[in-house]
Structure 1
Amino acid sequence: MSFLKKLFGGGSSGGSAPAGPKKQIDYNGYVIAATPYKEAGQWQTCGTISKVIGGETKEHRFIRADRFADEEGAADHAIMKGQQMVDQMGDRIFG
């Protein structure tokens, strides 16, 4: 029954949306924000990468499978993953 509740929006998966970024850095013209959230008793790696292009703010949200016992560890990992994505993809991340 709980599966059906989750499937149709009647239950919570245990995760909670972050109030705001835990950490944020400027990196090579991009803003990388770590927004880890609690999932199943651990902190899920999550963040955003944004950049102003042609007067418009573009944003890419990412979630990784990596989980940590503490929020700080998940935030640090999200920043590192964001930097890696910027280095590998650049502006293609928004396309």
Structure 2
Amino acid sequence: MAGFLKRLFGGGEGKTSNPADLQPNEVYKDVEIRANPIKDSSGQWRVAGMITKNIDGVSASRKFIRADLVQNQDEAIAASVNKAKMIIDQNGPSLWQGDDSQPV
């Protein structure tokens, strides 16, 4: 019961914002990066976010969640931005092909 109340009032695992509502932290290679770290039940932050690119007038987005955990939200935001840049660099144009509902 206590766990339910904790999650109901904003504590516990999964504390996050809707990435679509967040302002971009940075634009990198014409891609908007929105960090959206997730606070877990131990108080650590999981690296996560969304990357979005406008392609021929259509917005394509990819969500990512990584296993990396950091101690505070500021570190998690910085790590999420860095991880997004790595995803963009490693995948190149193929990142924007196919089904955009699949996480990267």
TM-score normalised over the length of structure 2? 0.72
| Structure 1 partner of 2:77 | 75
- Superposition RMSD in Å: 2.3
Q: Is the 8 A contact 1:45 1:66 kept in 2?
A: yes
1:16-95 correspondence to structure 2 within 5 Å: 16-18=15-17, 20-21=21-22, 24-40=25-41, 41-94=43-96, 95=98
* Residues 93 and 80 (structure 1), Cα distance of their counterparts in 2 relative to 1, 3 Å cut: same
- Structure 2 gap ranges (5+): 1-6, 99-104
Offset at 1:22?
7.6
The answer to which structure has the higher strand fraction is 1
Structure 2 counterpart SS, 1:90? helix
- Structure 1 gap ranges (5+): 1-11
Aligned equivalents of 1:75, 1:22: Cα separation in 2: 12
* Residues 80 and 17 (structure 1), Cα distance of their counterparts in 2 relative to 1, 3 Å cut: same
- What whole-Å deviation, never above 9, does each CA across 1:7-50 have from its counterpart, x for those lacking one? xxxxx572122255486101011111111121121111001111
Q: Is the 8 A contact 1:36 1:44 kept in 2?
A: yes
Q: How many residues align?
A: 86
1:7-22 correspondence to structure 2 within 5 Å: 14-18=13-17, 20-21=21-22
- Higher mean C-alpha displacement, 31-40 vs 56-65: 31-40
TM-score normalised over the length of structure 1? 0.78
* Residues 58 and 23 (structure 1), Cα distance of their counterparts in 2 relative to 1, 3 Å cut: closer
Structure 2 counterpart SS, 1:67? strand
